[in-house]
Amino acid sequence: MAPLRISFLIRSVYDLLPSNANLVRWGKKDDPTCPLCQGRQTTEHVLSSCKVALSQGRYTWRHNRVLQELASVISTAKGEIHPSSTSSTVFTTEGGVKMARRVDPNKHP
């Protein structure tokens, strides 16, 4: 597993990701509010319990992207070419600006 993925995994388990609640706790921000639903934005909230993200299908999209990456890695390992290996991922910044980036399933961003 790529080092950044391991780091994300460990920081998510120990609630050390920069959620708004943690940024307030660390004195980096004054407001722990989720910009989507106005609830308290904890790590758990971001990863699995924001009602607005759920209603917009964001968790389903993330779930499907993980499955696409797994399928691509498996296809590559089998010597096949998977359609998603040539696709790009569109990321949306907090301000709503969309940025496309090619995804190489064998490399971490």
Task: Output 7 or 48, the one with its CB closest to Zn ion.
Answer: 48
Nearer to Zn ion, 50 or 103 (CB): 50
Nearest approach, Cβ of residue 47 and Zn ion (Å): 11
Q: Which chain residues interact with Zn ion by CB under 5 A?
A: 34, 36-37, 39, 50
> How far apart are CB 39 and Zn ion at their closest, in Å?
5
Q: Which residues of 78-103 are buried (b: 16+ CB within 10 A; e: fewer)?
A: eeeebebbeeeeeeeeeeeeeeeeeb
CA distances in angstroms from 42 to 60, 69, 88, 95, listed in the order given: 20, 27, 29, 20
Shortest distance, position 34 Cβ to Zn ion, whole Å: 3
